[in-house]
A and B are shown apart, each in its own frame.
Chain A
Amino acid sequence: MSSSNTNVQITDLDFNSIKSNFITYLQNQDTFKDYNFQGSALSVLLDVLAYNTQYNAYYLNMVANEMFLDSALQRSSVVSQAKALGYVPASAVAPTAYINFTGRGITTSSFTIPKFSNFMSEAIGGVNYNFVTIDSTTVPVTSGIATITNLELKQGIPVNFNFTVNSTSNPTYTFEIPDPNIDTSTIQVLVQQSVSNTAYDVYTQTQNYLTLNGTSKVYFLQESINGNYQISFGNGVLGQQLSDGNIVKVSYVATDGSAATGANNFVYMNSSPNLGSYVITPQIAASQGKNKESVDSIKFQAPKSYAAQGRAVTKEDYISLLQQNNLGISFDAVNVWGGEENNPPIYGQVFMSLKPTGGYVLTETQKQRLIQNTIKPYSVLTVEPTIVDPDYTYLQITCNVLYDPKKTTLNAGSIQNVVANAINNFALSTLNTFNSTFKSSDLVNIIQNSNQSIITNEISVKVQKKFYPKLGSANSYKLYYGVPLQQGTFLSGIYNTPSFSYNDPTGTISDVYIQEIPSSTSGIQSISVINPGYGYQTPPTVTINGDGSGATATAVLNGNGSIKEIVVVTPGSGYTTAFVTITNASNDTTGALGAGIVNLIGQFGTLELYYNNPNIASTKVILNNNIGSIDYTNGVVYLNAFNPVNVNNPLGELTITGTPTTSIISSSYNRIVTVDQFDPTAIIVNVTAKTS
C-alpha cells in the first residue's frame, strides 16, 4: 500500500483495506481529487467498486478453501476430495446385540426365523427401538423345542427401494438412496431382469478393481453430493453393465446409530404359526453402534486410507483397514503391534487389539470375520494376523477437595458433582484408549480448575482388575496391572470386592477374602513418612514392631519441628508385616502426630484366602495360605488353582484392587487404562468447606 505503487491492490478481504488501496491508487493521478470526501460522487463509486471487489475476493477465498481437503468445510467438498483418494465415508452403523432364542411347542421338524424379523428392545432413553435379524436362521426341532444361540440382531428398520433402469434418463446407471440413516454394511442389491422376467442376480459391493471384468456382478458405493449414498454399476468393462428395463432392488437397514446402545432385553414381534411360546436370553447387549462419519473424521481417515493403498503392511495400514471395515463393526480405539515386541517375542504374527464402540470386547465370530474379510485379503502372506482382547486396568480415584464456600453459590453436593464430572471427562478424553498415560498431576490441575472456589485438592489412586472367575473349577489367572504395586502393610495392600464363597473340608464358607503376605528375607527397605507431625523439639524415637526382628530406624527433623524423613539404620530380618511407632523423646512435650509406614524388601508376596472368625471378633481364619502370588515390581497378581463356588455379585465379576507405587500409569500394546463408567465407587469425592 505504498503511495509510489501504481498498481491497485485488490487482494485484501476487508472492505476498508480495499477502499484505502483504491484511494492510495487515486493519489497518484490528478484528474480526480475528491476521493477523500465521503459525500463525493467518486466516493460513492469507490464504495461500489470496493464492495464488489470484497465480495468477489471473499467468494474466491471460499471457493479455494473448498478445493482442498485440509480447508474444506462443506461435507460435499470433503467427500469429493476423499473420493479422489478412493475413500468411501462410513455410514451410520447399527448397534448389534446377540440373544439366545428358545422356541417351544413347535409342531414342525425345523424352525426358521426369517431375515428382517422384528424384535422390540426395552426402552433406552424413553424409546423402544426396533431390532431386526440380518439373515434367515433355521435350526432343527427336538421334542418341540428349537434353540438358536447367538442370534445377531441389528437396530433399525428394514427398507426397500426399487429403481427401474433407463439409460436415456440415467446414462451413468447411478442410483441414489435418499436415506441418511442407512447402514451400508447391510445393503443387499438384486437386479431383476424386467417386470415380466423375475429372474434376478445378486450384486456385491467392490472396491477392488483389479479382478473385475465385463461380467462381474458388482456395484460401487459412494457418497453423493447431497450426503446420501449412491450405488452405481459397471460400464461393461469394469463390471456388468445394466440394460434398460432391469429393476434394481436395494434393501438395507435404516438405523438410529449409537442411540440404542445398551439394549439387552427383547420381545419377538413377528408371529410364527408353528411357534407355541418362546424365551429370549440376552447374550451381549447392543453395542458398536455409530453415527454417520463426521467431516472431521473423513479428513482424518481419507489420507491414511490412501497411504495404505489397499495393503496391510505397516501398522497404519492395519489400523486404517480395520477402521474402514464394511462389516458394521466400529471401534473407539485400535492398536496394532508386531509379535516381535511381545515378551517373549512371537515372530511372524501381527497383533491387533480393538476396543469396540460402546463395548469392551469383540465376539469370537466378529474377530474371525475381521481377520478373514478385512485383513487377510490385504496382508502379507507369511504374516499371521491375530486379534487379542483389550486388557483393561481400572482406576479407582479418591479425591479430597477443600473449597471456600464464600467464593461460590454451589453447595458441597454440587461441588462434589462438578469434581466428579471433571474426573469423568478427564478419563473419557485422556484415557480410555491404547497408548495413553495417566498422570495424577494433570488430574490435580483439572480438578483445581473445575471450580474457582476450590482451594486445594489431593488424589489417591488405586488400580483394579476385573475378571469373571470360572465358578466350581480350579483355574489360574494372571492379572497384569501394568504398574508397580505397593507392598501390603496395614494401610495398603490388595483386596477383593465383593467377597466370594469357597469350599473348605468342612463345607462352603461364604464371605471369603484375599490378603497378601509380602515375602521378606532380609527386612525393612524403607519407611515412608505419611504425617510429618509438628512441634518436635528433638528427633523422636522410632520403634519398628512386627513378626521379624532387629530393624531399627531414626527420624530426621526439618527446621520447623516436623519429621523430614525416617532413615532405616538396620533392616532386620524375617518380617512379613511391620509397623512404626513414633514416640517423643523424653524431654519433648510438644511433638505430636508423626507417623510412617514400612516398606518391606522383596519383589514378591504370597496371597492367602481368609474369612473373619465368626466366633472371635476381629480375628481371621486362614482358609488357604498360598492361593497365588504377587509380583510387586512388575505389577502382576497370579491366582493359582483358584476355585470359588460363587461370587457375591449378580454378574459374577470379581474386582481385585491394589495400590500403585507411582502416580504415572501408562498403557501399551493391548492394555487400556480407564475409569469404569458403570462403577459408582470408581470416583469418590470428599468435599470439605473452609471454615474460617
Chain B
Amino acid sequence: MANLKNLYTDIDLTFNRLPVTNDIALSYDEQSVIRAVRNLLLTNFYDRPFQPTLGSNIDKLLFEPASGVTASAIKDEIINVINNYEPRASVNSVVVNPSPDTNSFNVTLQLFIGNNTLPTTFNLILQRSR
C-alpha cells in the first residue's frame, strides 16, 4: 500500500507522541488521505468558519430512518463530498448498508488514491451519537 513515498504528510488529529523521537505523530500518504476523507464526512455544513459549503450533510441523514432510501442518500453525499473536496482520491465504489437494529450504517469505501493502480478499501460505521 505504501508506494506513494511520503508525497502527502499530515498531522495526526489524535496528537499521539512518537515514543522514539518524542515528536508529534504524523500520518502519511494513503493514511493521510483516508483521514482527510473521514474528516470531510464528519464535517457538517457551516462547521468551518467562513466556508459554509465545506463538508457533508451526513450528520443530518443519520437521524433519518435507517432504511435503504437513507443509505442511498448517504452514498450520494459521500461521493459528492469526495469529488468536491478531496482531489487526491477518486471513488471506485461505495456500499452503504443500513443496520436498523443499531441505528447505524456500515460503509465500505473503495478509493483510488493518487496514482495507485489498486484501490484502497476501508470501512466506517456511521452512527449518531446524540
Q: Using a CB–CB distance below 8 Å, which chain A residues touch chain B?
A: 15-16, 31-34, 37-42, 44-45, 47, 50-51
| Minimum distance in angstroms from A37 CB to a CB of chain B | 6
Q: Which residues of B contact A51 (CB under 8 A)?
A: 49-50
Are B85's CB and A40's CB within 8 A? no
Q: Chain B 14-43 against A: per-residue CB contact (8 Å), 1 yes, 0 no?
A: 000000000000110000100111011001
Are B85's CB and A32's CB within 8 A? no
Are B10's CB and A47's CB within 8 A? no
A41-B39 in contact given A31-B9, A34-B10 (Cβ < 8 Å): yes
Interchain Cβ contacts under 8 Å between A and B, 14 examples: A33-B7, A33-B10, A34-B10, A34-B32, A37-B8, A37-B88, A39-B37, A40-B36, A41-B11, A45-B11, A47-B49, A47-B51, A51-B49, A51-B50
Interface size on B, residues (CB 8 A): 25
Are B49's CB and A41's CB within 8 A? no
Q: Which residues of A contact B88 (CB under 8 A)?
A: 37
Cβ of B54 under 8 Å from chain A: yes
Residue of B whose beta carbon sits closest to that of A30: B9
Are A40's CB and B48's CB within 8 A? no
Cβ of B13 under 8 Å from chain A: yes
| Minimum distance in angstroms from B59 CB to a CB of chain A | 15
Cβ of B86 under 8 Å from chain A: yes
Q: Which residues of A contact B40 (CB under 8 A)?
A: 38-39
Are B12's CB and A41's CB within 8 A? yes
Tell me the bound Cα distance from A196 to B88 in angstroms: 88
Residue of A whose beta carbon sits closest to that of B84: A38
| Minimum distance in angstroms from A522 CB to a CB of chain B | 83
A32-B35 in contact given A37-B87, A37-B88 (Cβ < 8 Å): no
Q: Which residues of A contact B86 (CB under 8 A)?
A: 37-39
Are A41's CB and B9's CB within 8 A? no
16 additional contacts, CB 8 Å, given A15-B50, A37-B8, A47-B51? Answer: A32-B11, A33-B10, A34-B10, A34-B36, A37-B36, A37-B88, A38-B85, A38-B86, A39-B43, A39-B85, A41-B13, A41-B27, A42-B11, A44-B39, A47-B48, A51-B49
Tell me the bound Cα distance from A679 to B13 in angstroms: 78
B residues 58-73 with Cβ under 8 Å of A? none
Are A41's CB and B35's CB within 8 A? yes
Tell me the bound Cα distance from A34 to B54 in angstroms: 17
Are A44's CB and B32's CB within 8 A? no
Indicate which residue in B9, B35, B43, B54 contacts A33 across the interface (CB closer than 8 Å). Answer: B9
Tell me the bound Cα distance from A41 to B24 in angstroms: 13
Tell me the bound Cα distance from A42 to B86 in angstroms: 14
Q: Which residues of A contact B43 (CB under 8 A)?
A: 39
Q: Which residues of B contact A39 (CB under 8 A)?
A: 36-37, 39-40, 43, 85-86
Residue of A whose beta carbon sits closest to that of B42: A39
Indicate which residue in A16, A34, A47 contacts B9 across the interface (CB closer than 8 Å). Answer: A34
Q: Which residues of B contact A15 (CB under 8 A)?
A: 49-50
Residue of A whose beta carbon sits closest to that of B15: A41
Chain B CB within 10 Å, residue with most, of A15, A39, A50, A51: A39
Tell me the bound Cα distance from A15 to B48 in angstroms: 12
In the A-B complex, the 6 residue pairs with the smallest Cβ-Cβ separation, listed nearest first, are: A39-B36, A39-B40, A34-B10, A51-B49, A41-B13, A15-B50
| Minimum distance in angstroms from B2 CB to a CB of chain A | 15
Q: Which residues of A contact B32 (CB under 8 A)?
A: 34, 40
Tell me the bound Cα distance from A45 to B10 in angstroms: 11
| Minimum distance in angstroms from A27 CB to a CB of chain B | 13
A32-B49 in contact given A39-B85, A39-B86, A44-B39 (Cβ < 8 Å): no
Tell me the bound Cα distance from A37 to B87 in angstroms: 8
A44-B54 in contact given A34-B32, A38-B85, A39-B39 (Cβ < 8 Å): no
| Minimum distance in angstroms from B65 CB to a CB of chain A | 28
Tell me the bound Cα distance from A39 to B84 in angstroms: 10
Chain A CB within 10 Å, residue with most, of B10, B32, B54: B10
| Minimum distance in angstroms from A59 CB to a CB of chain B | 15
Q: Chain B 104-125 against A: per-residue CB contact (8 Å), 1 yes, 0 no?
A: 0000000000000000000000
Tell me the bound Cα distance from A38 to B37 in angstroms: 10
| Minimum distance in angstroms from B118 CB to a CB of chain A | 21
Tell me the bound Cα distance from A42 to B7 in angstroms: 15
| Minimum distance in angstroms from B10 CB to a CB of chain A | 4
Q: Which residues of B contact A41 (CB under 8 A)?
A: 10-13, 27, 35-36, 39
| Minimum distance in angstroms from A618 CB to a CB of chain B | 83
Tell me the bound Cα distance from A578 to B55 in angstroms: 90
Q: Which residues of B contact A50 (CB under 8 A)?
A: 49
| Minimum distance in angstroms from A161 CB to a CB of chain B | 49
Tell me the bound Cα distance from A609 to B87 in angstroms: 98
Q: Which residues of B contact A16 (CB under 8 A)?
A: 50
Are B10's CB and A32's CB within 8 A? yes
Chain A CB within 10 Å, residue with most, of B11, B35, B40: B11
Chain B CB within 10 Å, residue with most, of A16, A40, A44: A40
| Minimum distance in angstroms from B111 CB to a CB of chain A | 12
Are B50's CB and A42's CB within 8 A? no
Chain A CB within 10 Å, residue with most, of B12, B27, B51: B51
B residues 82-100 with Cβ under 8 Å of A? 85-88
